[in-house]
Structure 1
Amino acid sequence: MNTPPNPAAGAASRIPEVATDASLVVPVIEEQAVVRREVVETGRVRLTKTVEEHPETLNFTLLHDEVQVERVPVNQFVADGATLPGVRYEGDTMIIPVVREVVVKRMLVVEELHITKHEVPTQESHQVVLRQEMVQVTREPLAPPTPGPPPAS
């Protein structure tokens, strides 16, 4: 005979009968989320560096010194007991006395050298090669990932 099972009887049979003096333990379950990082390649870039050279003319002014030496005859004796004349300046001109000892044992200033210095500018040009680096960035799409085993937890 086919009698439908009594649902109330089945439910009651699954609940353990609790004695009035015993306590009932109910487990409490909690889910937790675990957050982690992993490196995932999403694309690539290709850098291409080239060096370009181009000539450039540099114009500039150089300064150099030139001196003019002039011999000026003096022919004067140095006074007895006096010190010998030294180098002296008159403006931009340096004066160097040239002496000679004569038989009478007196000093005779024979001549003076007058040296005047002045700057002479000269214009010059030089051809130089300058280098410049150029970098080109190209983005490359990432190939679709191949399916693999799931990461182990």
Structure 2
Amino acid sequence: MNTSSTPTPESTSRLSEPVAGAPLVLPVIEEHAVVGREMVETGRVHLTKTVEEHEEALNFTLLHDEVQVERVPVNQYVADGATLPGVRYEGDTMVIPVVREVVVKRMLVVEELHITKHQVPTQESHRVVLRQESVQVTREPAPGTIIPPTASTPAS
């Protein structure tokens, strides 16, 4: 056995010289990988949501019905035994006979009401307030993280 503190070429070798008659022992080494995970905060995100309002003019066309009433004098008697005239249509015009009983017990059509309906478009304009959301995202490094300074390029 060597007791000197300086290593000899025999002691630096991993495998020693086999001794005569002794079995040769070779160590077999095997490595194992152990995989794990841990939570590491690498940064934070800060969200800011704002609501913007802007006024916008809306233009649109509305339709509404208007009626025109025209009084048309007739002054004609209804024939004896005939049925009274009823409501009738002449194109878009509704004709309503107006009758009155006369002393002679004859019917006299005094007048007719001619009613015509038509649509009138009108232009309307209203101001409305519309809202729109926007979100700003700001990334922040994790606490304690050192951010390397950005290299500045010299001005030419």
TM-score, reference length from structure 1? 0.65
Structure 1 range deviating more: 55-64 or 65-74: 55-64
Secondary structure, in 3 states, of the residue corresponding to 1:47? strand
Secondary structure, in 3 states, of the residue corresponding to 1:118? strand
Aligned to 1:103: 103
Aligned to 2:93: 93
Question: Structure 1 116/33 Cα, relative in aligned 2: closer, same or farther at 3 Å?
Answer: same
Secondary structure, in 3 states, of the residue corresponding to 1:8? coil
Secondary structure, in 3 states, of the residue corresponding to 1:143? coil
Residue identity matched to 1:58: L
Residue identity matched to 2:90: E
**Residue pairs, 1:5-20, within 5 angstroms:** 8=19, 12=22
Identity of aligned residues (%): 83
1:125 aligns with 2:125: yes
In 2, Cα distance between the equivalents of 1:134 and 1:124?
31
Aligned to 1:138: 138
Count of residues in correspondence between the two structures: 130
In 1, Cα distance between the equivalents of 2:123 and 2:58?
11
In 1, Cα distance between the equivalents of 2:58 and 2:130?
11
Question: Structure 1: any 5+ residue segments left out of the alignment?
Answer: 16-29, 146-153
Secondary structure, in 3 states, of the residue corresponding to 1:94? strand
Residue identity matched to 1:84: L
Aligned to 1:18: none
Residue 63 (structure 1) shift: 1.9
Aligned to 2:52: 52
Residue identity matched to 2:91: G
TM-score, reference length from structure 2? 0.64
Residue 144 (structure 1) shift: 4.8
Residue 66 (structure 1) shift: 1.6
Question: Structure 2: any 5+ residue segments left out of the alignment?
Answer: 3-17, 146-156
